[in-house]
Amino acid sequence: MTDLSPADAAQPVVSPLTSAAMFLVLTVEDGGEDAVREVVPDLSGYARAVGFGHPEAELACVTGFGSAAWDRLFGGPRPAELHPFVALDGPQHAAPSTPGDILLHLRGQHLDVCYDFAANILTRLGGAVKVVDEVHGFRYYDRRDLLGFVDGTENPEGSEAVAAALVDAERDPEFVGGSYVIVQKYLHDMSAWNTLSDQEQALVIGRTKAGNVQLPDAALPKTSHVARNTIVGADGQEQDILRANMPFGSFREGEVGTYFIGYCATPTTTEQMLRNMFLGDAEGNRDRILDFSTAVTGSLFFVPPTSFLDDPPPAPGQDVPAADPVPAETPRPTDSPRPADGSLGIGSLRS
């Protein structure tokens, strides 16, 4: 439990938009746990060291851990809602769950600082980890996706971004300032997309292409990306996530797409959006963006507060026992000799 506010306790989850990003998904090799735990407290120091000489680059590094990795790496309390990414198998489109123990989300105004940070960390980690996915994202004109639409307009800002993305004391007192992040790599079928007119594309996204204006409610198809992702909670309030998507492209690999990354104070909001997109509603309205873009990866991570990274708990099974409030010389009820049968003497299963 910390006295800090979620915003002060957090890693740089809520941070300014940048022109470059690197997404690294790692798995921890068997036996690599100790090496990883040793590097974790140095993450903030490395970010400071790389960023210090280049303040204009605004390097920000966010580190998250997957559910299985958390249990291998850390003893002590567990984030209340951490679980593996839930794969979805819809009638037409699937969202696969793919391996991922550690996420490094590196942002900067140029890629060099992201690269240097990654090089430092990966050298330190050596054979303890395997890089299973790596995407270098770039800003495309006025923050457009490669589909040509501005991406990120309706992101929450300021205190709304903090409330949407960060865990507060009411939700989980042990992890104030933490965040649940879901990442998915989407590959676009640009040839199919380019057969649509701008007006047809606007109906798929739910906003105009050139002007970036949301279509009026009467003209907004239920299958549009905006409609599928506008969700309202039981309190009537819109439920937000904080997105930091980036376009990427490789001609050699023939892969162009969007790296989706969504932070939220609870995974359930992003999961609901994904169900709306992939499984659709009772009337069969699914997200038409999926007719042109395929999810090829999917992982969920918990991003702990900075203090957790700087001073991680001991390995599982090596937790330091809580200080014993009872003075040693005071006899305790459990100090009385155990029954000869080795039981606690509080009952018997035998009749």
Site of interaction with ligand HEM (CB under 6 A):
145, 147, 149-154, 184, 186, 205, 207, 225-226, 229-230, 241, 258, 260, 262, 270, 273-274, 289, 293
Would you call 102 helix, strand, or coil by DSSP? strand
| Shortest Å distance, C-beta 131 to ligand HEM | 22
Does the annotation count 151 as an active-site position?
A: yes
Shortest Cβ 260–ligand HEM spacing (Å): 4
From the list 151, 172, 240, 287, the catalytic residue is 151
Assign 5 to helix, strand or coil: coil
Q: Cβ closer to ligand HEM: 103 or 274?
A: 274
Residue nearest to ligand HEM (CB): 154
Are 58 and 18 contacting, i.e. CB atoms less than 8 angstroms apart?
Answer: yes
CA distance 223 to 208: 15
Q: What is the largest CA-CA distance in the chain?
A: 84
Contacts of 96 (CB under 8 A, 6+ apart): 87, 295, 296, 297, 298
Q: What b/e readout covers 250-287, taking b as 16+ CB neighbours within 10 angstroms?
A: eeeeeebbbbbbbbbbbbebbbbbbbbbbbbeeeeebb
Query: Counting Cβ atoms within 10 Å, is residue 213 exposed (0-12), middle (13-18) or buried (19+)?
Result: exposed
Residues paired with 107 in a beta bridge: 21, 60
Which CB, 120 or 270, lies closer to ligand HEM?
Answer: 270
Q: Minimum distance between the CB of residue 232 and ligand HEM, rounded to whole angstroms?
A: 11
Whose Cβ is closer to ligand HEM: residue 47's or residue 303's? 303
* 128 vs 274 by CB, closer to ligand HEM: 274
Please report how close the Cβ of residue 272 comes to ligand HEM at its closest, in angstroms: 9
Residues assigned a catalytic role: 151
